[in-house]
Amino acid sequence: MRDEYGLLLMQNYGSTEMGDMAAWYLHGKRFDEELKEMESNGKQLYVGSVWPGVTTQTKDNGEVTMKTPWQSAGYVKEHVLHRLNGEHHTSDLGIITQDKDGVDCVWLQGRLRPVVEVEGQDQRTTYSPNEIEAILVAHPHVTDALVLMQNEMNRNQGVTRARVVLEDGVAVDTSDLIQCPAGKLMYA
């Protein structure tokens, strides 16, 4: 966009509850500087420097939490305000680093997702959705996979559902994809 139209697109990081929390172009940074920062690590996504007044940290489980001066007061349910108190749990996994000026910078590594319970060979095992997705994507004709959250019935039965994207024009038998440690794996 910049080279072709002269437009600079800016990535922001935020949520409805917290508003905008981190962005480029803060603290005197420039696009080329931020681009280098973003490209410096292929396993993490750099989303920017936190705005002044925003506090952020990572919890023991890797979840990024933030608090802003402009965060939402809370949610109204059945005509009653349920206040948001303290920091906002983003459900994003990441790390917080500091730049040369001591400003917090947010790097994301993925989403905090519930484990998947799988039953196989008369035992119940838990896996992270990322583990199952990595196994599915290792299939030569699978380009992407997303493990869906288990509802209570599927969890009790040890059933896991996933969406799988195949290469264009390729058909794969479901039984070929079930050859993974996930036991009963169903595709919707």
Sorted by where each starts, the structural domains of the chain and their CATH numbers stand as: 2-111 (2.30.38.10), 116-187 (3.30.300.30)
Phi, psi of 59 (to 5 degrees): -80, 175
C-alpha separations of 138 from 32, 142, 160 in Å: 35, 7, 18
Residues comprising the chain, all counted: 188
Instruction: Kindly report the pTM of this predicted structure.
Output: 0.62
Kindly give the confidence (pLDDT) of every residue in the chain, 188 residues in length, as a single tens digit, with 9 standing for 90 and above.
678 888 766 667 888 888 877 766 566 666 677 677 667 776 788 888 888 899 999 999 999 999 988 888 888 999 998 888 788 888 899 999 998 888 898 888 888 888 887 766 677 788 888 888 888 888 888 999 988 888 888 877 777 888 999 999 988 887 777 665 444 443 33
Q: What angle do CA 182, 187, 188 make, to 5 degrees?
A: 145
